[in-house]
Structure 1
Amino acid sequence: MTEIHTPRLLLRRWHDDDLAPMADINADPLVMRWVGDGSVLDLDQTAEAIERWEEEWDDEGFGLFAVELLASGELAGFAGLSLPEYLPEAMPDVEISWRLGRQFWGQGYASEAAQAVLEFALQDRGLERVIAIDRLGNEASENVMRKLGLVFERETAHPDYGHALTVHSIDLTEYQS
């Protein structure tokens, strides 16, 4: 089982008891406003998403980790690697992403988890490049990207919803963990 420990977090594969807290995160309109078309997800949609994330682990050898707070055992959200199939022009690059519940914002958890994921991408999976795709205007995610050393590459449009997206990248052969 793949696990990563950071000073405050455990990044791990998904457990059955993660469904309800992740569904709560996905049901928050403020969390989801930057995701897809901005719609919230219900319990069934979250279950389907977790199933897809676990399948990607099995198929690709990487995926989205459940992010658990070491101090409390609470599920804070996810961080990890995935194939950005929703944006075909970005393929075959691997995307780093994160989504945390609102109560976990502003505490450095996203940066801490994403830093660990970048190290995982380089050291454990041997990736040479990672991208991050963000909806234009999502300053919080852009701040995390800057902290990680990702640089702006281009602007594009979401193929289904039309809104502006930014693509940031990092060459992991030059990344300093």
Structure 2
Amino acid sequence: MGNYIIETEELALRELTMNDFLPWHQILSDQETMQYYPSVFDMDKTRGWIDWNLDNYRRYGFGLWAIILKDTNQFIGDCGITMQNIYGDGNLFPEIGYHIDKHFRCKGYASQAAKSCLRFAFKNTGFNEIFCYQKCTNIPSKRVAEKIGMLLRKEYSDEKNTKTSVYSITRTEFYAMT
């Protein structure tokens, strides 16, 4: 297989590379997959997404990682930790993000990958709280946040999402449930 950062029973997570461009672009250019984003990604935006993560790996030692199905070695999405301006006030917070190919949704892969990334974050960083935020209508993403033990902390109105939901879990809460 490859240089994996995280492995679960079914999944392996590794750094994204430009070799992932075609399968990643297929996912990010799909209208159904990107329904909670302002628009689908064109080729330049997909390249930019990969470049952003390459920069995150160098800058922070983490980013969104490629999710590979171990049985088939198939690229099915991404999951990982990025620094995000969650409240729109310029302050950056660690966020677990995930995007799964629509053909592999509802199989528990996002929750499995996200929980593993939470474990990674609390084991390998000094962060005492990890966040997840999304458009308030993104019910699937909210469910993943809840499945991995996060609690709804705040909802607020904003220009980008109309209304944003912010979930989080503290280090103490995470270790109390494991």
Shared fold (TM-score, shorter chain, > 0.5): yes
3-state SS of paired residue (1:120): helix
Percent identical:
28
Measure, in 2, the Cα distance between the counterparts of 1:60 and 1:25. Answer: 25
Q: CA RMSD in A?
A: 1.6
Superposed, 1:88-127 pairs within 5 Å as 88-89=88-89, 91-127=91-127
Moved more, 79-88 or 150-159: 79-88
3-state SS of paired residue (1:134): strand
Q: Deviation of residue 135 (structure 1)?
A: 0.6
Matched, 1:135 2:102: no
Measure, in 1, the Cα distance between the counterparts of 2:105 and 2:70. Answer: 16
Letter in 2 for 1:170: I
Partner of 2:32: 30
3-state SS of paired residue (1:156): strand
Flag as ranges the 4+ runs of structure 1 deviating above 6 A. Answer: none
Letter in 2 for 1:89: D
Measure, in 2, the Cα distance between the counterparts of 1:112 and 1:158. Answer: 30
Partner of 1:166: 165
Matched-pair contact (CA < 8 Å) for 2:131–2:169 = yes
Partner of 1:175: 174
Matched, 1:152 2:152: yes
Measure, in 2, the Cα distance between the counterparts of 1:81 and 1:47. Answer: 19
More strand by share: 2
Q: Deviation of residue 172 (structure 1)?
A: 1.6
Which of 19, 22, 26 is equivalent to 2:21? Answer: 19
Letter in 2 for 1:168: Y
Measure, in 1, the Cα distance between the counterparts of 2:135 and 2:88. Answer: 16
Matched-pair contact (CA < 8 Å) for 2:86–2:93 = no
Cα distance, 1:30–1:153 mapped onto 2, change above 3 Å = same
Superposed, 1:32-71 pairs within 5 Å as 32-35=34-37, 37=38, 39-71=39-71
Task: Number of aligned residue pairs: give it.
Answer: 174
Q: Deviation of residue 139 (structure 1)?
A: 1.3
Which of 6, 9, 18 is equivalent to 2:8? Answer: 6
Cα distance, 1:149–1:90 mapped onto 2, change above 3 Å = farther
Measure, in 1, the Cα distance between the counterparts of 2:130 and 2:122. Answer: 9
Q: TM-score, normalised by structure 2?
A: 0.91
Q: Deviation of residue 158 (structure 1)?
A: 3.4
Matched-pair contact (CA < 8 Å) for 1:98–1:114 = yes
Q: TM-score, normalised by structure 1?
A: 0.91
Matched-pair contact (CA < 8 Å) for 2:86–2:133 = no
Cα deviation digits, residues 106-165 of structure 1 (max 9, x gap):
100000000100000000123210111011121111111111111111112334x35111
